[in-house]
Amino acid sequence: MSALDVIFSGTMLAQTVRMTVPYACASLGGVLSERSGVINIALEGILLSSALAAVAVQNATGSALSGLLAGVACGALVGLAHALLVVRGRVDAIVSGLAINLVAAGGTRFVLRALYGSSSNSPSVRNVEIAESWGLFARTVLDPFVLLTLAAAGLFAWGLRRTRFGLRLRACGEDPSAAQAVGVDVGLTRVLAVTIGGAICGLGGTALAFELHQFQAGMTGGRGFIALAAVIVAGWRPWPAVLACLAFAALDALQIVLQNQTRVPSQLFAVLPFVATLLALAAVSRRTSGRARAPAGIGKNPV
Amino acid sequence: MPAVAGVAAGWLAFCLLVWAYGASPRDMAVLLAEGTWGTTYGAGQVLFKATPLLFTGLAVDLALRAGLFNIGAEGQLAVASLAAGVVGSRLPASTPFVIALPVTVAAAMAAGASWAAVPALLKGRLGAHEVISTIMMNRIAEGLVGLLVASGLGLTGTVRTPDVVPGARMPRLDAVFPAFRGSAASFAIVLAVIATALVMIAHQRSRFGRELGLIGLNPRAMAAEKVPVKRRLEQALIASGALAGAASLGTVLGYKGYFEEGLGAGAGFGGVAVALLGRGRFWGLVLAALLFGTLQQGGLALNAHVPKELMDVLQGVVICAVALADARLRDVVTSAVVRPIAKPATGAGGAGVT
């Protein structure tokens, strides 16, 4: 089969959709966190740690559902840690995010060796079971992770725009001092936003680990950072963020096919998603007005 | 105070994690001390590990003064190391020391600077956030360096460049101090300390350094003073990349004598930790580099008993603790000085109350 046949096959499309899930979940978490005014570069560390938590619990209990819950809970916890450091501790959000990423990168290897005696990967676990007889399309569309991601995107888009909590969250991101002045508890709102964002990001980490049927050290490979770039490209809005992630995931899937199908050195394609992210970032960075702009109060504390 | 908090939190995390792993914290601490400062060899290895950290820490610190986070020291160092390996090995074998070493280092620094120039220009011209763009540049550097080494610049079938010419090698410390025999420490550590001192003086005495620091404090005021803020930010990031590239002195020229894929990996991120802990002071940076160098070497000494990744966790914990203590300190100062002015006490009615 030629490379082109592979690229336009149904398997490839299905693969792209499944690969979108970790990106999309992380960027939804990023949207929520940054709309409330907290910069979140800890997404990478959240993805990584929740992937390990999901695999470890799944491995111990044998139940995919408890693995998923553990992944989500771990994501929420790490998100909470980031939020508390930034909101209550007044630590610079970038410093806190960097530290969390460091701890996650080292900590997952540490735990991996403590639990399984290997510093590179865990024993394999089973993904959520779906009947083979359903056909590729149904299996892709009805994949629980895909459904959950879409549901979360819908919920966030509606919640940000239509609910009281969403309005307060956006107010904290746009002008924390004004929000505080009208009686919004800025700290609490931000902690909640980042924690919920962490939980959804944890879902992404779980999906990533289950997709590969195991945890591998450093398996996120920069997905959290690309997801963060997707947040910016999408103008801090949930649905566009999912779409941007779909584009990045398509590139990622394409990159894997091209590595296997062509004789060009694999490193050339491996950097493709990162080059694309950089270009996309450069293209949108000039935008400072309109609906697709950064929250004005991002990184600011109420006075 | 923040440094004390950082070390204390790091120590606590060390004990907790070692205990959780099922080893004895006291035994491990003894092992760590013996493996690092206990022998002259261990001390030499600490100096060796601290060398690139001091350079990258200095690099990150320079950008931080202007308010920029250079997370890209990792990629800048990778590209610079490759450049050092390639240029150093292509020189005529008889090139004298006084020419070969400066040329090689200049090539490395230029490569680091040019790698930093991409996010710098994206920041200055388009306003792209430097954190994300430098992270992307790290990943691109990783792929590109691998590609270049595999396709032409390296020895065929290997992931390394040819040996650099003898004149471009940094002499080992044990050539003068026999006590360090066997350790990889080279005179690059001396250069690193001198460079740190010079850059610190430049921050205080040179116009460029002063402007950078003031931009970090208040960019709008500096723009009002007709200082070209955006250009200064670009220059700061590029200079930072050049300094990060100089870290290849310790790895490529001081240790291996050639570049191989992955050499010096981790030093870029370690530099961020050094800069945050060092807090822009000469002794702060030197001691922070020594501390993290000790942790890295100590991790290797413990690896048979406790995973060496423990040290990465400690690094993160130390960063957090220092930042937290720093913020506390700032809060105390702000509430004593600023709050009463910015926010009148409740009940102080009417305008005009200051």
- What was the pLDDT predicted at B340? 47
- What was the pLDDT predicted at B348? 40
**A134, pLDDT greater than 70:** no
Q: Do B131 and A41 touch (CB under 8 A)?
A: yes
Q: Is B273 on the interface with A (CB under 8 A)?
A: yes
Q: Do B310 and A271 touch (CB under 8 A)?
A: no
Residues of B in contact with A85 (CB under 8 A): 320, 323-324
| Segment B171-181 mean pLDDT | 78
Which residue is associated with the tokens 């676990």?
Answer: A125
| Segment B44-54 mean pLDDT | 90
Q: Do B131 and A232 touch (CB under 8 A)?
A: no
Beta partners for residue B172, in sequence order: B186
**In chain B, what percentage of residues exceed pLDDT 90?**
27
Mean pLDDT of chain A: 87
d(CA B39, CA B292): 18
CA distance B270 to chain A (A): 10
Q: Do A282 and B122 touch (CB under 8 A)?
A: yes
Measured CA to CA in angstroms, residue B59 lies from A183, A184, B72 at distances of 43, 41, 10
Q: Do B309 and A107 touch (CB under 8 A)?
A: yes
- What was the pLDDT predicted at A46? 96
| Segment B170-197 mean pLDDT | 83
Return the higher-pLDDT residue of A290 and B5. B5
pLDDT band at B158; cut points 50, 70, 90: confident
Residue A192: its H or E element: helix A186-212
Q: Do B17 and A110 touch (CB under 8 A)?
A: yes
Amino acid at B210: R
Retrieve residue B267's tokens. Answer: 């030093």
Of A106, A109, A232, the CB nearest to B316: A106
B227-238 residue pLDDT tens: 898 999 999 999
Of A114, A228, A268, the CB nearest to B21: A114
Residues of A in contact with B269 (CB under 8 A): 98, 102
Strand, coil or helix: A216:
strand
Residues of B in contact with A293 (CB under 8 A): none
**B341, pLDDT greater than 60:** no
CA distance B133 to chain A (A): 6
Q: Do A113 and B126 touch (CB under 8 A)?
A: no
Listed range (A85-94, A103-112, A140-149, B332-341) with the worst mean pLDDT? B332-341
Residues of B in contact with A298 (CB under 8 A): none
Q: Do B313 and A278 touch (CB under 8 A)?
A: no
SS3 readout for A222-280: CHHHHHHHHHHHCCCCHHHHHHHHHHHHHHHHHHHHHHHHCCCCHHHHHCHHHHHHHHH
CATH 1.10.3470 holds for A3-284: yes
Q: Do B316 and A103 touch (CB under 8 A)?
A: yes
Under DSSP, the state recorded for A4 is: H
| Segment A278-289 mean pLDDT | 78
- What was the pLDDT predicted at A129? 63
Taking the model in full, what pTM does it have? 0.88
Listed range (A12-16, A56-60, A118-122, A280-284) with the worst mean pLDDT? A118-122
Q: Is A105 on the interface with B (CB under 8 A)?
A: yes
Select from A67, A27, A61 the least CA-distant residue to A47.
A27
Are A202 and A75 in contact, with CB atoms under 8 Å apart? yes
CA distance B340 to chain A (A): 12
> Hey, how many other C-beta atoms are within 10 angstroms of the C-beta on A302?
17
Amino acid at A115: L
Return the higher-pLDDT residue of B102 and B349. B102
Q: Calculate the CA A285 to chain-centre distance.
A: 21
Span between the terminal Cα atoms of chain A, in Å: 63
Q: Is B344 on the interface with A (CB under 8 A)?
A: no
Strand, coil or helix: B260:
strand
**B349, pLDDT greater than 50:** no
**B354, pLDDT greater than 60:** no
Q: What is the ipTM of this complex?
A: 0.85
Buried b (16+ CB within 10 A) or exposed e, B32-44: beebbeeebbbbb
- What was the pLDDT predicted at A148? 92
Burial of A135 from C-beta contacts in 10 A (0-12 / 13-18 / 19+): exposed
B237-272 residue pLDDT tens: 999 999 999 998 888 887 888 888 888 888 888 898
Under DSSP, the state recorded for B353 is: -
Mean pLDDT of chain B: 84
Retrieve residue A153's tokens. Answer: 């995107």
CA distance B307 to chain A (A): 6
**A107, pLDDT greater than 60:** yes
**In chain B, what percentage of residues exceed pLDDT 70?**
94
**B59, pLDDT greater than 50:** yes
pLDDT band at B188; cut points 50, 70, 90: confident
| Segment A7-29 mean pLDDT | 86
Amino acid at B108: A
CA distance B80 to chain A (A): 18
Listed range (A48-57, A134-143, B193-202, B218-227) with the worst mean pLDDT? A134-143
